[in-house]
Amino acid sequence: MLYKLKNKLVNWLFKGVVVDELRVLRLRVGSGTTAVTGSYIDFPGLTSDPSLVAGRVWFRSDLGKMRFSPDGSTVKEF
């Protein structure tokens, strides 16, 4: 319930606001699975490819490779 209240408050405070720049020290997405800082991005290690979507990026820990799907139908590594 507290989460919903916080969410409503933030949405109300920023209604109609266009953000040109936003700076945060650390951003966590999901249950701490992906973390973004000013120096690095932590991806969770996957052992199988997710469903393909154009632009999706993931880390295959069993292969030790970063992978991405440029068009939603193929997989490339970098």
Residues 58-68 pLDDT 10s: 999 999 999 99
pLDDT in tens, 18-47: 777 877 788 888 775 788 888 888 888 999
Single-letter amino acid code for the residue at 48: S
pLDDT at position 21: 80
Residue 17 Cα distances to 11, 21, 65, 78, angstroms: 10, 12, 39, 37
Contact 59, 46 (CB under 8 A): yes
Lowest-confidence segment of 2-16, 36-50, 52-66 by average pLDDT: 2-16
Dist CA 68 CA 59 (whole Å):
9
